[in-house]
Structure 1
Amino acid sequence: MKYKCFFLLLFYSLFFSQNKSTDSLKVLDYDKLKNKFYEYYENEDILKTKYVAQYYLQKAKKEKNKLQIAEGYILVHFNEDFPTALKYIDSLAIITKDVKGTLYPSRTYLMKGNLYFKHDYLKKALDNYVIALQYAKDQENQKQIAYANINIAYLNSYLGKYSKAAKIFRYYLYNSNNLTNETQHNQMRVSLINCYIELNKLDSANILIKEGKVSSFTNKSKYSVNQYTYFTGYSYLKQKKYKEAIPELLKAYNFFSGINDNNANYALYSLGKSYDGLNDKEKAVQYFTQLDANIQKTNKTFPQLREVYTYLIDYYKNINNQEKQLYYIDRFLKVDKKLDEQFEYLSTELYQKYDTPNLLEEKEQIINSLENRKMLLYVSIGFLCIILLFLFLLYNRSKKIEKKHRKIAHDLIESIERKSLEMPENRQDVVQFQNIEKVDIEEDKIVRTTPEDVVQFILKELEIFEKKEFFLKKGTTSASLAKSIKTNTTYLSEVINTYKGKNFAGYLNDLRIDFALNRLVKDKKFRSYKLSVIAEELGYNNEQAFSLAFKKKTGTSLSIYIKEIEKSTSL
């Protein structure tokens, strides 16, 4: 009975408090209700924001006011999970289908883009922003054009195109002309700070951080205060002031983790980097591990995660914990795949769907500004002639370069075939080694610190390393080679520099490329492999690294070299 009474009292308490809250909202018009919603939203008061949003929507439906029903759907979707929020945005699209004016449908696509962006569906976010921008331009709605440009700038910032993003943020931050409200103004300031820090414009970033902190304290926005606290710590991190960075980052993390916000993950990343800067690897691993756990829960990624997983992989490799090493390799591959897919799509589509139309629009504006049609014709013809001339010169240049590369490839093939005839395969490495010794004798004036017996030992080991093709093993470093032949990196580096005439990286790279040149000529099956497979067999981490190394060493490209081999073998 006592418990029943308690629940009855609780029920009446809630009932009357709700009625009281409803009565207080009844006196507010739509604008004041919206202001009340954003006031609660800024201060992370989720229950009150939900209540105000639902009241707003019910009021609009009761009054059968389509535009306000649309606003209600927008307010309600903010604090819902992704599937529910998406349903509200779809309802927004339906209710505004026949609404006249310039606000819709561009606003609907902007809202949908923001929702996809929030939940890390960046491909769909971009597609919706581009559609919103096109509608806004067609309807000449400057406010919606601004919002679309700003949101696309967030994507450019995510891609690491900080200069391009900063240009947009800076423009609308200081030239808003009442296009953006205070909340958006603050978001742009925050994003511009991030761009400045990444571009190492730390003085400019710190000025904006101070400005933002003053504004946040004035508006009593805990969320904004902690955003600027985070950037204070991040700025210290960039300056390598790790001890100053950690307290600021911890404050930000404690706040954002308490409200389940993605900014907590950025704080964890920065804390890990700070402790790594202090050479406290255990602490760095602790924060990076927590970051991985968060990413698994939310599946929200960001580019710096690649650093996190490679750090964890190396850490557990060094302490010989293969189980953890394997686990983080698997996590790295999953996250890397997602990031690659997003980057590939965004990089291509941003250029095609956003940058190119903007350039064409700028061109059109220039053309329209020309009053004299005759002059316009002359300019156009002249411009076309220049382009044709430029294309012709580019074509000639490319043909000359191609011819040069083919000749280099042809000469390389002839050289390899001639050597094969002059000298048996199993004698090649020995002759190379003897030639190196001869060069060393002529360069005897070089001051060496390595004992002579150690030099001869290392040279013998290098001969075995070359002869048995151990240089093809992936992950070979001067440290790993020194360890395997039981010497130190200092002696090994000095011997390679003195007797091979190059540093370790150049020595390893030359061995691999020389091997590739020979095998491609002699092994038809090897030539048929994909570039990624060839790179893997030669010990490179990826095909780009191999392609660059091949061209730098030979002066020609791999594709031209293979074509010339095929041509010579078909004769």
Structure 2
Amino acid sequence: MKIKLLLLFIFTGYHLLYPQAKTDSLRNDSYEKLKEKFYDYNYDGNPAKSKLIAQYYLAKAKREKDISQIANGYAFMYANEDQKNALKYIDSLAEITKNLKDDAYPTRIYLLKANVYFKFNNQKEALNNYIIGLKYAKQKNNKRQIALAETNIAYLNSYIGKDSEAAKVLKYYMDNGSYLTDNELDKIRVNLADCYIELNKLDSANILINKGLQAFKNKDDYRYHQYLGLLGFYNLKRKKYQLAINNLLPCKKYFLAADDIREKNYVLLYLGKSYASLNNNQRAIENFTKIDSLVQKTNYIVPEFGEAYTYLIDYYKEKGDKERQLYYVERFLKIDNMLDAQFEYVSRELPRRYDTPKLLHEKENIINDLQSRKTILNISIGFLSIILVLLSFLYSRSKKRERQHRKIAQDLINTVEMRSFETSKAKLITNPSPIPIQTDTENKVITEDKSAKATPEDITQFILKELEVFEDKELFLKKGITSASLAKSIKTNTTYLSEVINTQKGKNFATYLNDLRIDYALNRLIKDKKFRSYKLLAIAEELGYNNEQSFSLAFKKKTGITLSVYIKEIEKSNNI
């Protein structure tokens, strides 16, 4: 009831809302001063004070009937509300500014909506609104709003694991965003440091972290603890686990008392991982369990939380506590479903051995086991027999799967060797350096003919010839290749290129690129013993992948087996 009355009285008059002491402290402040206070409190993680400023600001603007300032009041009010009320304030802002001649609109509407959706885990709508806001900002050539849209898209990219792309944008605006506020620049620095840690650019991250610690120590507790938390993450990445714990414990105390759900969860996650790395299971469980408690209260989730749940599942599985194991399996599956609805690249972060199909199967086994135990507690011999049969079945199935994977690997090796032999034989027979046929399309950029229904034959042949060069020179091993970059390099457009690959190669561009890389890997792994000794990350980078996860998934999808199985069979065949 108090909350409802508060929302009602916001619009009825300032004197009904605030104690006299608070009104006196704000009465002489200009709009600019109030705005400065609002942003300071908001960025410092002090929602109660920032909300108080927003309420006073809106009431003052309404009393003075200043449309532009009323708009600012609505924009401030949304910041500390739940999703429904936040969107209502933004709708009010849209209504009052529809005839306002101000270059900030309608961009501001879309950026604020995006912030709300981002905050409440609707990543799809957040991205849509950021993109629309960016479009309007560019139309009005509003540099500051362009920067806000692009940095927020960068935060979203980082949120789903695209840290390299995010870091480029953040670094640019940190160096060139002189028109941004100190608060906005500091937010960029914090997120850039986080990206650097994720990308293992630890020296660069450490420089930013130390600057932040020095700037805010004894001056701004919230930001100081933000940077201290990053220092904990940095030391966790360096495997300096006790140092990480020493950094993170004061952050845990501070953020659990503050109203910042993101910082709470990440501090708990890094603490849990640090304790787990030191084999302090009890402390790890304590922190990971707290994450689950907060997720249930707030529904705030990110892909990294999966690590906490898999740890809890493994811990209780090892302890033989099937009830708790089942509970965390179900919690993990629920989070997995929520993430699938929002994150296109969620598989990057979720541990592979606890993917959804396996968890569903394990859940079914646990439930059946729990139900069976209730009825056969007094039939020990029968129970043991069932267990033995089940173990035998699982062992047999495991061996069968292993044989199947070995057979796939052996077939792959034979196929690659045969193809290599036939290719070498063909090169002896045919002219290895055919004279290139000059076409008119080679010396000009091909533009899209939208009136045609299909790619012209001469362009098709030109693109096919360029693709042959692309394959022969192994240019597909370069990092960052996209259909756009390849089309540009061979002087055509993406429409023609995609159509030729689809029709002539029988696959889309992504599959075409992955197939070339995996085929190259299959062949080189057989021939190059040193290449086989590389670590997974090094092999992935040699093949043009950004990370080992992307390569592993592509290899498994193409071959049906893991890289380790394939290499193991190569070594076996070489030792025969």
Q: Which residue of 2 aligns with 1:125?
A: 126
Would you say the 8 A contact 1:102–1:141 is kept in 2? yes
Q: Secondary structure at the match of 2:344?
A: helix
> Could you tell me how far apart the structure 2 residues matched to 1:401 and 1:52 are?
61
- Paired with 2:558 and 2:45, the residues of 1 have a C-alpha distance of 51
CA-CA distance at 1:63 after TM superposition: 1.9
1:279 deviates by 1.3
Distance 1:398 1:232, change over 3 A: same
Q: Distance in 2 between matches of 1:142 and 1:35?
A: 20
User: How far off its partner does 1:62 sit?
Assistant: 1.8
Q: CA deviation at 1:223?
A: 1.2
Structure 1 residues 400 and 174: alpha-carbon distance in aligned structure 2, compared to 1, 3 A threshold: closer
Query: What is the deviation of 1:122?
Result: 1.1
Q: How much does 1:81 deviate?
A: 2.4
Instruction: Note if contact 1:126-1:346 (Cα within 8 Å) is conserved in structure 2.
Output: no
Residue 25 (str. 1) matches residue 36 (str. 2): no
Distance 1:393 1:45, change over 3 A: closer
Tell me what 2:281 maps to. 281
Equivalent in the alignment of 2:245: 246
Q: Deviations over 1:537-569 (max 9, x none)?
A: xxxxx99957632698999xxxxxxxxxxxxxx
Matched, 1:389 2:388: no
Match of 2:445 among 380, 383, 393: 380
Q: Deviations over 1:151-199 (max 9, x none)?
A: 0001110111111000000000010131x11111011000000000011
- State the alpha-carbon separation in 2 of the partners of residues 294 and 98 from structure 1: 43
Find the residue that maps to 2:103 and give its secondary structure: coil
What secondary structure sits across from 1:259 in the alignment? coil
2:110 and 2:447 mapped to 1: Cα distance?
A: 41
Cα deviation for residue 19 of structure 1 reads: 2.3
Note if contact 2:103-2:140 (Cα within 8 Å) is conserved in structure 1.
Answer: yes
Unpaired stretches in structure 2, ≥5 consecutive residues: 1-14, 348-441, 450-457, 468-499, 508-552, 567-576
Write out aligned runs for 1:472-511 (5 A): none
Aligned CA distance change for structure 1 residues 151 and 389 (closer, same or farther; 3 Å) = same
Partner of 2:571: none
RMSD across aligned positions (CA): 3.3
- The one-letter code sitting in structure 2 at the alignment partner of 1:389 is F
Q: Aligned partner of 1:82: which letter?
A: Q
Alpha-carbon distance change, 341 to 317 in structure 1, aligned in 2, over 3 angstroms? same
CA contact (8 A) 2:555 2:562 kept: no
Checking the alignment, whether the CA contact within 8 Å between 2:225 and 2:251 is kept in structure 1 is yes
Answer yes or no: is 1:226 the counterpart of 2:225: yes
Of 67-76 and 386-395, the range deviating more from structure 2: 386-395
Cα deviation for residue 70 of structure 1 reads 0.8
Asked if structure 2 preserves the Cα contact closer than 8 Å seen for 1:42 and 1:221, the reply is no
Structure 1 letter corresponding to 2:174: L
Q: Distance in 2 between the 1:133 and 1:327 partners?
A: 43
- Unpaired segments of 5 or more residues in structure 1? 1-13, 348-376, 403-541, 556-571
What are the Cα deviations for residues 400-435 of structure 1, in whole angstroms up to 9, with x where unaligned? 899xxxxxxxxxxxxxxxxxxxxxxxxxxxxxxxxx
Map of 1:60 onto structure 2: 61
Change in CA separation of 1:197 and 1:132 when aligned onto 2, cut-off 3 Å: same
Query: Aligned pair in 2 of structure 1 residues 305, 104: CA closer, same or farther (>3 Å)?
Result: same
| Contact preservation (8 Å) 1:115, 1:125 | yes
Q: How far does the alpha carbon of each residue in 1:292-320 deviate from its partner, in whole angstroms, 9 at most, with x for none? A: 11111111111112222121111111111
Matches of 1:553 and 1:243 in 2, distance apart?
33
Residue 200 of structure 2 aligns to a residue whose secondary structure is: coil
The answer as to 2:210 corresponding to 1:210 is: yes
Determine the structure 1 residue equivalent to 2:340. 340
1:297 aligns to what? 297
Q: Does residue 106 of structure 2 align to residue 96 of structure 1? A: no
Give the letter aligned to residue 70 of structure 2. I
> 1:84 Cα shift?
1.7
Secondary structure of 1:102 counterpart = coil
Matched, 1:165 2:230: no
Measured in 2, the distance between the counterparts of 1:291 and 1:554 equals 36
Give yes or no for contact 2:555–2:561 (8 Å, CA) kept in 1: no
Q: In the alignment, which residue of structure 1 is the partner of 2:4? A: none
- Conserved? CA contact 1:123–1:346, under 8 Å: no
CA contact (8 A) 1:158 1:302 kept: yes
- Quote how far apart the aligned CAs of 1:390 are: 2.6
Question: Residues 37 and 177 of structure 1: is their aligned pair in 2 closer, same or farther, counting only changes over 3 Å?
Answer: closer
Structure 1 letter corresponding to 2:31: Y
**Contact 1:123 1:345 (8 Å CA) reproduced:** no
Q: Counterparts of 1:69-468 in structure 2 under 5 Å?
A: 69-178=70-179, 180-217=180-217, 220-261=219-260, 262-344=262-344, 379-381=444-446, 389-391=462-464, 394=467
2 CA distance for matches of 1:33 and 1:126? 30
Distance 2:79 2:502 in 1: 56
- For 1:69 and 1:257, locate their aligned partners in 2 and report how far apart those are by CA, in whole Å: 34
- The structure-2 alpha-carbon separation of the partners of 1:397 and 1:48, relative to structure 1 and needing over 3 Å to count, comes to closer
Partner of 2:559: 548
Please identify, of 149-158 and 45-54, the stretch whose mean Cα deviation from structure 2 is larger: 45-54
Letter in 2 for 1:52: I
**Partner AA of 1:380 in structure 2:** V
Q: What amino acid is the match of 2:305?
A: L
The AA in structure 1 aligned to 2:127 is L
For 1:431, the equivalent position in structure 2 comes to: none
Alpha-carbon distance change, 73 to 314 in structure 1, aligned in 2, over 3 angstroms = same
- Structure 1 residue 31, shift from structure 2 partner: 0.4
Q: Distance in 2 between matches of 1:37 and 1:199?
A: 34
| Matches of 2:62 and 2:46, distance apart in 1 | 25
Residue identity in the other structure for 2:462: L
Aligned length: 373
SS at match of 2:560: helix
Letter in 2 for 1:259: A
Equivalent position of 2:393 in the other structure: none
With over 3 angstroms needed to count, the CA separation of the structure-2 counterparts of 1:76 and 1:548, relative to structure 1, is same
C-alpha displacement of 1:250: 1.2
Contact map agreement 1:136 1:144 (CA 8 A) in 2: yes
C-alpha displacement at 1:387, in angstroms? 8.1
Match of 1:100, SS state, is coil
In 1: Cα distance, 2:505 partner to 2:117 partner: 48
Percent identity of the aligned residues?
47
Change (3 A) 1:16 1:234: closer
- Return the alpha-carbon distance in structure 1 between the equivalents of residues 103 and 346 of structure 2: 28
Find the aligned partners of 2:248 and 2:29 in 1 and give their Cα distance. 40
Cα 1:169/1:552, change in 2 over 3 Å: closer
Looking at structure 2, the residues matched to 380 and 133 of structure 1 have their Cα atoms a distance apart, in angstroms, of 29
Q: Which residue of 2 aligns with 1:363?
A: none
